[in-house]
Amino acid sequence: MNTTELKYLTANVNELSNEITEFLLQEVGQLNADEIQTKGLHDFVTYVDQSAEQKIAARLGKLLPGAGMLLEEKSVDKHGDRYRWVVDPLDGTTNFIHRLPLFSVSIALLDGDRPVLGVVHEANLDECFMAWQDAPALLNGSEIRVSSISSMDKALLATGFPYDDYGKLDAYLEIFKYFVQNSSGLRRFGSAAADLAYVACGRFEGFYEYGLHPWDVAAGAFIVQQAGGKVTDFHGDNNFIFGGETLASNKTLHDPMLEALKRFI
């Protein structure tokens, strides 16, 4: 697939993400307690997640009929020979339930296991981050780049906390302590897709989290790369989409962040 075709697909996904974020915002505050289900420990899902995913899957199926789909709520089970959509219809469901920003729509297209386009639309600020292969990353149509900060003590970092895998929690708290003491601040917003997008546009210098799924990171990680940043797993390898560990940075601070993660985990 060439750059022109990917640009066309991205524009259509952007339009779709606009429609889905409008739907999400219409539904904020409409949930009843009995409409909130659990998929696992501290892992919530609502009719909003499910309805949004069904709408997305229907449109993507028409946009690229031969592509497979990897969807968080598994409303469609479809295998493709080459291309595969990776979708989180509502990244930040807990925030959504409690009427807290941030929450996002995240859609990526993989060629094999390699992202070739990504769209992250944060609903509350109506900010759409996007990128496609061999093109710069954009925020609402304007080019974005990662920050140029090269000193850890001036860096603002983001993370997320595991909600069901506590096997590394003690080490993770040590890492948290280290970054609190050695950076200018550490934030936890509750939407990995938005955190990655914020690295891409220079609001954060770095983001790290474990226990993540492909739909949490595929789009945002690709946007970081296209904005000039670097993304790896906690070992410095490229298994950051399917490996459950993601470290994204402005590239300059990647090695010191990676060294800290290796030291504690």
Closest CA to 46 of 86, 95, 109: 95
Domain boundary among 143, 166, 187: 143
Q: Indicate if 114 and 203 belong to the same structural domain.
A: no
**184 or 46: which leads in pLDDT:** 184
Position 92, amino acid: G
Give 132's strand partners: 117
Q: What is the mean pLDDT of residues 21-47?
A: 69
The CATH number of residue 44's host domain is 3.30.540.10
Q: Indicate if 136 and 169 belong to the same structural domain.
A: no
* Count of domains observed in the chain: 2
Q: What is the pLDDT of residue 76?
A: 65
Model confidence, pTM: 0.93
Residue with tokens 């990504």: 118
Q: Indicate if 137 and 19 belong to the same structural domain.
A: yes
Q: Indicate if 7 and 132 belong to the same structural domain.
A: yes
What are the pLDDT digits (tens) for 92-144? 988 998 899 999 999 999 999 999 999 999 999 999 999 999 999 999 999 99
What are the pLDDT digits (tens) for 168-209? 788 889 999 999 999 999 999 999 999 999 999 999 999 999
Torsion sign (Cα): 185, 191, 196, 201: negative
Q: Indicate if 65 and 157 belong to the same structural domain.
A: no
244 Rama sector, left if φ>0, alpha if ψ -120 to 50, beta otherwise: left
Closest CA to 257 of 169, 150, 161: 150
- Evaluate whether 212 touches 246 at the Cβ level (below 8 Å): yes
Closest CA to 261 of 228, 236, 240, 244: 236
Please name the helix (run of DSSP H) or strand (run of DSSP E) that holds residue 17, with its range, or none.
Answer: helix 3-27
Q: What is the mean pLDDT of residues 44-71?
A: 89
Q: How large a percentage of the chain has pLDDT more than 90?
A: 78
Closest CA to 75 of 42, 33, 47, 34: 47
Position 117, amino acid: L
Q: Indicate if 12 and 54 belong to the same structural domain.
A: yes
Which range (3-17, 99-113, 154-168, 243-257) has the least confidence? Answer: 154-168
3-state SS of the chain: helix, strand, coil percent to 5?
40, 25, 35
Q: Indicate if 75 and 137 belong to the same structural domain.
A: yes
Domain boundary among 123, 143, 163: 143
Q: Indicate if 166 and 134 belong to the same structural domain.
A: no
Which range (4-13, 35-44, 145-154) has the least confidence? Answer: 35-44
Range of the domain at 183: 152-264
Q: Indicate if 188 and 71 belong to the same structural domain.
A: no
